[in-house]
Every structure is written in C-alpha cells, then in structure tokens.
Amino acid sequence: MFNFTYYTPTEVVFGKETEKETGRMVKKYGGTKVLIHYGGSSAKKSGLLDRIKASLEEAGIGFCELGGVVPNPHLELVYEGIELCKKEGVDFLLAVGGGSVIDSSKAIAYGLAEPDKDVWELYEHTRTAKACLPVASVLTIAAAGSEMSNSCVITKAADNSKRAYDDDLSRPKFAIMNPELTMTLPDYQTQSGCVDIMMHTMERYFTQGGNMEITDCIAEGLLRTVMKNAQILHKDPTNYEARAEVMWSSSLAHNGLTGCGNDGGDFASHMLEHEMGGMFDVTHGAGLAAVWPSWARYVYKNDLDRFVKYARNVMCVTAEGTDEEIALKGIEAMEEFYHSIDMPINMSELGIHPTEAQIEEMAERCVKATGGSQGSAKVLYKEDMINIYRMAL
C-alpha cells in the first residue's frame, strides 16, 4: 500500500425530511446571505425550494436565487452567478440539485473568493485557487458525489471545453441527503447516476499499485450494492431503501474512501467521456457506460490481475479459463448489466456518431486536458485515445 491522506470534512444529514434542517446548518457554518443555486423547474414544482426558503427564514438567513443550471454546467452561468453574488453580498453557496448544480456552485464560490481573477484559469490549470467561499448542498440526484468531493467540472460552451478542477478548498461544509427527493427522477437519470457512482469506484480500482485489501473490499461491496439497487429501481423507482443505498453510495464512491492506499486511480474513462460530453452534450453516466467497455478491452492485458479480481469478486464470474478469458468474461458481464438497466455500451447506442475528424479533435482536447497522458491501468497517449474512441463507435 502507498501512504495516503483521507480528508472528508463534509457533515452529512441523511434521511427523510432532512431538507428542513437547511437553515440550521447554514447558520452553524456561518452563512448570513445565501445564493440558492438550482437547475430547472422541478425544485420549484415539487415545493422543495419553498421548504428550503422557509427553513432559511426561520433561521434568520437572507437569500437570493439563481436557476438555470444544465447538465454539463456552463461557465457563462458561473460568471452570471459571481456577479449576482457580488451585488447581493452573498457569503454562502447552497446547491439544490445534483452534481451539475454543486459543481456550478463550487465554481461561483471560487470566483467570489478571488474576484480579481478569471475563475476559468483554474479549470485551464494556469493557476491554483487560494480561497473558496463555503458551499453546501441539498442533494436531489445520486450520481456525481460532488456533495462530498473536492472535484468540480465546468463546460465552456463557447468552444465546448469541459474541464475539471480538484481542490480541497471546495469540499462542501454539509450535505443534506433525503432519498425521497430522488424518487421523481426519470429512470434514465437514475441509471446514469448509478453508472457514474460505479465508475468513480472503478476508476480507483483498476490501478497498478498500492492496493489494500480493505479498500478493495469496500469498493467491491459498494459496486455490488449499486448494481443490485440499480436493478431494483429500474423496476420500482419509489423503493426508499434502494434510493437510500444508492444515495449514500454516491458519496462514498467519490469522497476518497475507495482510493485509500492506491496510486490515485486511473480516470482515463472519465477524461475520455468529458470530451464526448463537451462536444455532444451527452448525459455523463451514459457516456461513461458507452466508453468503458472499449477502454477495458484496450487496457485489460496491462492490468490483468485487477480485471480477473473484478470479474470474480464484483461480476461473480464463476467459469474456469485463462486469466485473459476470465477478464473478458467480466467485461462482458458488465456490458450485460448496462443493458439490463437500459444503458449503452458504445457511442452508437448512446446516439452519437462522431466523424474521424471529431475523434481526432476529442483526443487532442483530452491530451490538452490531461497534460499529455492519462491512466494507471495503462497510461494512454493521444493515439491510444483515438483507438479507444474508434473501438467505441
């Protein structure tokens, strides 16, 4: 195992009707004027925003609001949020939604903390953040794990650049998690979220060193749990216990727990998907499902022991054969699982058909975003990325 630092300062308030605790929690962490940041109309129509506002008012907390966050959140709305918060004297960011809303809130918080600088510079990695205003969330989608992570991803729509920035400064102060708030999600969003949760775990699982037995057991158990409950929710979307299992798994998958002791993870599939999302605006989890099988077949020989362990312990492959045969059966079983929850296993099933020129452009952007290469199971360079995109057609 390798040395590691495990830092998860986010306070979690989990269970039914916990959104009523919002005001108390904001006050606890020093907020006096809050930006309520959210996506579309569902938070309004469901009455969730009204319940949150009532809780803030009861605690004596002022607020303003900004909606309009879309999947693959846009830099342009981040800029709008920064200006609104300056005008209103906001000192606390409250995301009401899923990963996209939380990521947008984190970006606004970075921009407010250093108002004389362009926040996009962080995502281009031309500077490092020195400060960030406090962020918290009322979670309505289990997927990205942003509610407890140090990560955020923003898309610059002007040139379709989708970039990530990771810094512990933006780890949320608290996360309110009521599984009931996810029950009205379309199945496609629920299942895309389940894929994202699994991929955050798998990115840390397929590594070349530092793997601990306890970390592997946690990761494998989390993966099996999400698979089981994804299939339950595919048939019974109002199952509270399944919603709760998936929601908590979302946080544990991306707060660092499943990477303790290893080399930090692979994350090539994520970086490849970011460029797909930037160019074609696809749902993140579905995009990951579409690219992972091709990535797996491209790299499995370079990380064979891990793929065999995954096949045996996660996908429950019991057949005999060579290590290569077992690894491939594990990949095939993963594809079967994706199909069982109506997720794609290639770009055609995802509904996109990039040209050779677009594949070249996505690979070039991926190289730029990663600083030249990405991966642990196998380090990928531009030609490797092109090959995987081609395989995923």
* pLDDT bucket at 150, cuts 50 / 70 / 90: very high
What is the pLDDT averaged over residues 291-296?
Answer: 98
The pLDDT score that the predictor gives to residue 366 is 96
Residue 312 within any structural domain of the chain: yes
pLDDT above 90: residue 342: yes
The DSSP bridge partners found for residue 156 are 161
Domain check: are 112 and 237 in the same one?
no
* pLDDT bucket at 245, cuts 50 / 70 / 90: very high
Round the average pLDDT of the chain to a whole number and report it. Answer: 96
Residue 3 within any structural domain of the chain: no
3-state secondary structure of 94: strand
Domain check: are 112 and 196 in the same one?
no
Q: What percent of the chain has pLDDT over 70?
A: 100
Residue 6 within any structural domain of the chain: no
End position of a domain, from candidates 181, 200, 220 = 181
The pLDDT score that the predictor gives to residue 272 is 98
Domain check: are 129 and 237 in the same one?
no
The pLDDT score that the predictor gives to residue 41 is 80
Domain check: are 232 and 103 in the same one?
no
Task: With both helix axes pointing from N to C terminus, report the angle between 323-340 and 213-235 in degrees, rounded to the nearest 10.
Answer: 30
Residue 313 within any structural domain of the chain: yes
Instruction: Identify whether the C-beta of residue 321 lies closer than 8 Å to the C-beta of residue 228.
Output: no
Residues 6 or more apart in contact with residue 111 via CB below 8 angstroms: 78, 79, 81, 82, 119
End position of a domain, from candidates 131, 158, 181 = 181
Domain check: are 171 and 296 in the same one?
no
* Token duo for residue 367: 């190289």
Closest to 196 (Cα-Cα) out of 277, 298, 122:
277
End position of a domain, from candidates 135, 160, 181 = 181
The pLDDT score that the predictor gives to residue 42 is 84
Residue 221 within any structural domain of the chain: yes
Question: What confidence tens digit (pLDDT) does each residue in 7-25 have?
Answer: 999 999 999 999 999 999 9
Domain that holds residue 136: 11-181
Domain check: are 279 and 225 in the same one?
yes
What is the pLDDT averaged over residues 164-176?
Answer: 97
Q: What percent of the chain has pLDDT over 90?
A: 95
What is the pLDDT averaged over residues 185-194?
Answer: 96
Residue 318 within any structural domain of the chain: yes
Residue 1 within any structural domain of the chain: no
pLDDT above 90: residue 373: yes
What is the pLDDT averaged over residues 355-381?
Answer: 97
CA-based end-to-end distance of the chain: 37
* Token duo for residue 376: 């642990």
Domain check: are 387 and 311 in the same one?
yes
Q: What is the CATH number of the domain that holds 313?
A: 1.20.1090.10
Domain check: are 239 and 270 in the same one?
yes
Domain check: are 81 and 173 in the same one?
yes
pLDDT above 90: residue 121: yes
Place of tokens 């290469």: 373
Domain check: are 111 and 237 in the same one?
no
Domain check: are 20 and 160 in the same one?
yes
Domain check: are 259 and 336 in the same one?
yes
Query: How many structural domains comprise the chain?
Result: 2
Q: What is the CATH number of the domain that holds 21?
A: 3.40.50.1970
* pLDDT bucket at 43, cuts 50 / 70 / 90: confident
3-state secondary structure of 13: strand
**Whole-angstrom Cα distance, residue 287 to residue 192?**
8
The pLDDT score that the predictor gives to residue 40 is 84
* pLDDT bucket at 52, cuts 50 / 70 / 90: very high
